[in-house]
Amino acid sequence: MQVEDVKANERSRMSDIVDLSADEINDSELYSSTPVKKAPSKSTSLRSKWRRSIFQLKEGEYTYGRSSKRRIESSPKNDRSIRKSIKDSTNNLLKYDSSTRKEVAEYVRYGEDSIIVKGESLSPEQWSDLLTSDTWLSSDHINAYLSLLMSNHKHIHAFPTYLYAKLSTKYDYASVQRWTKKTCIFNKSIVFVPVNVTENHWLLVVIWIKAERREQIEIWDSMGGEDYQREIGDVLKRYLIDEYARYMEDREQRKLDDYKIETEIEKWPVNVKFDNTQTPHSKQTDGSSCGVLVCLFAKALAEGYKETEIINIALQRSSAKTYRNVIAVELWDDYKRRTVQEHEKYQLQVE
């Protein structure tokens, strides 16, 4: 067989793995605060293409399986340690309390009133969306979860989903200036900006301020975000420049730590994760997991997971499905903790 024929066959095979027609993604009623419809179910052939993950994760248990069509190419000596490292990282990130999940399911079944979690009102239908595969997450879900992460990890700052939507429609720094009135983002290590593009896809922009990859912007897009790289970079760099100018003006008045940017913000690189050079043949292929993966990316980055670990976990078939439960359980635990604290405070006032 000629070399050209071999390359052509390889390209054809890889194209079959990642191909997803536009008809298979329903982009109506996405990311609203009202309950959304389930995404159309995938065909048997598309599901079979997905069965290439390193681990087949089931709810509440973790089992290892190797697909005949995707093999781990490493030496026998290192193969076991590599698999164990990936499995341990996966188990830790996707772990949740099954008994708490049952509490959420009971609320979905019998609850009537919405619950306020981290400033967002989540109805029983929205909690049901968290527990149900093939449903899209709304801005309410993402804002509540990123706010929870921000309260648990003081070295990060997470903007609501409305920041980029507001700035990209008509740039006006004054309209969002008050959003950081009590926070200096330049004293944080990482800043998260969730972004909705084309009204039907979520991605996470990560701005590295003081962390290891300092002074750069990354676009964590499970479908590859090369198309939005320049636009997102231009908008957020402009915002950072305005924000830094204000910070320099009032840092003494607000008694902020002195932080001087060593590199001009205009020159900060904008890198895309899951692009064609990094994951050429493996990306998200369903139409409903992007919001869940945005939350997963934020949690993993906040907790210091390595980039390769995060990508390996995100590309596993059942990670998004399992992480829905993680989001629901963590939000529910925070709601219960707040409820107990408020009750105890009330009891002290009564006594």
Q: Residue 332 domain-assigned?
A: yes
The predicted pLDDT at position 347 comes to 61
The predicted pLDDT at position 48 comes to 38
Mean pLDDT, rounded, of the chain: 77
Count of C-beta atoms within a 10 Å radius of residue 154 = 9
Q: Which residue has the higher pLDDT, 20 or 176?
A: 176
The predicted pLDDT at position 162 comes to 95
The CA distance from 223 to 235, in Å, is 21
**Mean pLDDT across the stretch 198-209?**
92
Is residue 349 predicted with pLDDT exceeding 50?
yes
Q: Residue 67 domain-assigned?
A: yes
Sorting pLDDT into bands at 50, 70 and 90, what band is 248?
confident
**Mean pLDDT across the stretch 67-96?**
57
Q: What is the DSSP letter of 119?
A: T
**Cβ atoms of residues 185 and 243 within 8 Å:** yes
Q: Which residue has the higher pLDDT, 194 or 253?
A: 194
Sorting pLDDT into bands at 50, 70 and 90, what band is 14?
very low
CA distances from 131 to 60, 247, 310, 323, 329 (A): 14, 41, 22, 9, 10
**Mean pLDDT across the stretch 309-332?**
93
Segment among 58-62, 112-116, 163-167, 181-185 with least mean pLDDT:
58-62
Closest-CA residue to 205 (of 178, 237, 247): 237
Q: Residue 28 domain-assigned?
A: no
The CA distance from 307 to 304, in Å, is 9
CA distances from 54 to 67, 90, 305 (A): 7, 11, 18
The CA distance from 25 to 96, in Å, is 29
The predicted pLDDT at position 20 comes to 33
Can you give the CATH number for the domain in which 85 is found?
A: 3.40.395.10
Q: Which domain holds residue 303?
A: 46-350
Segment among 168-172, 242-246, 277-281 with least mean pLDDT:
277-281
CA distances from 297 to 16, 168, 253, 281 (A): 27, 23, 35, 20
Sorting pLDDT into bands at 50, 70 and 90, what band is 206?
very high
Q: Residue 245 domain-assigned?
A: yes
Q: Residue 32 domain-assigned?
A: no
How far from the centroid of its chain's Cα atoms is residue 304's Cα? Answer: 14
Q: Residue 30 domain-assigned?
A: no
The predicted pLDDT at position 58 comes to 36
Q: Which residue has the higher pLDDT, 302 or 88?
A: 302
How confident is the model over 49-81, as pLDDT tens digits? 333 332 333 333 333 333 333 333 444 445 555
Torsion region of 167: left, alpha or beta (phi above 0 gives left; psi -120 to 50 gives alpha): alpha
Q: What is the DSSP letter of 31?
A: T
Q: Residue 313 domain-assigned?
A: yes
Q: Residue 190 domain-assigned?
A: yes
Domain count, the chain: 1
The predicted pLDDT at position 171 comes to 95
Q: Max CA-CA distance within the chain? A: 87
The strand pair at 201-208 and 216-220 is best described as antiparallel
